[in-house]
Amino acid sequence: MDSGCSKHMTENTMDVLSLKAIQGGNVSFENEKRGYILDIEKVGKSPSHSIENVYYVDGLKYSLLSVSQICDKGNKVEFLSKVCTVTNLVTSKVVLVAKKYKNIYVADFESLQAGVMSRLKAVDNDAELWHRRLGNASFLLLNKLIQKNLVRGLPKFIQQVRHCSG
C-alpha cells in the first residue's frame, strides 16, 4: 500500500491475466533512477480476483497499490500504527487488510473472497461511484452540479445507469 504512488504498479509478471503495451512513460525512484513503464496489466489469480490498470515497471522492486486509485473506486483507506484497512463505502465492509512490516504495509491477497479485488480497481468517470459518493444523489442533481461546475473532479457528463434502490 503506497500513498505516494499515483497508479498501481508491479514488477511481477507471474500473475498477469492480460497485457496492453503502451508508448513510453517512466517512474522516478528515490535514488534518482527511473523505471520504464512497459505495459498496463490486469493482474490476479483469476478474473474475479484481479486488479486492472496496473503499470508493469521495469526496475521496480515491489508491487505497489495506489491509495488514490483505491479511494477513487469508492473505498476508505485507514492507516493505523500496525495495520491498514480498506473499507468499501457502500457496503461498510473491510475488503482488504495490510499489516505493517518494516515501515511498509503489506496486503494479504490470499485471504480475499471472490469479487473483492474488483472493488479495488480504478474507475474513470463512473456515474455510479459519484451517485454513491454524494449520498445516493439523483442523476438529475448530478447533472445540475456538472452544469454549474459545483463539484471538483466530477465528470463532464453523467448518464443515469439505473434506478437507485437506496
Cα gap 73→124, rounded to integer Å: 9
The answer as to CATH 2.40.70 being correct for domain 8-120 is yes
Task: Indicate if the pLDDT at residue 74 is higher than 80.
Answer: yes
Share of the chain above pLDDT 70, in %: 58
State the average pLDDT over residues 84-95.
85
**Any idea which residue has 514488477 for its cell?**
11
**The pLDDT of residue 160:** 56
Most confident of 24-28, 53-57, 125-129: 53-57
Task: Indicate if the pLDDT at residue 164 is higher than 70.
Answer: no
Q: What is the pTM of this model?
A: 0.56
Give start-end residues of each CATH 2.40.70 domain in the chain. 8-120
State the average pLDDT over residues 59-78.
82
Cα gap 145→13, rounded to integer Å: 42
Q: Most distant CA pair in the chain: distance in Å? A: 51
Phi, psi angle pair for 26, to nearest 5°: -150, 165
- And the C-alpha cell for 156? 463532464
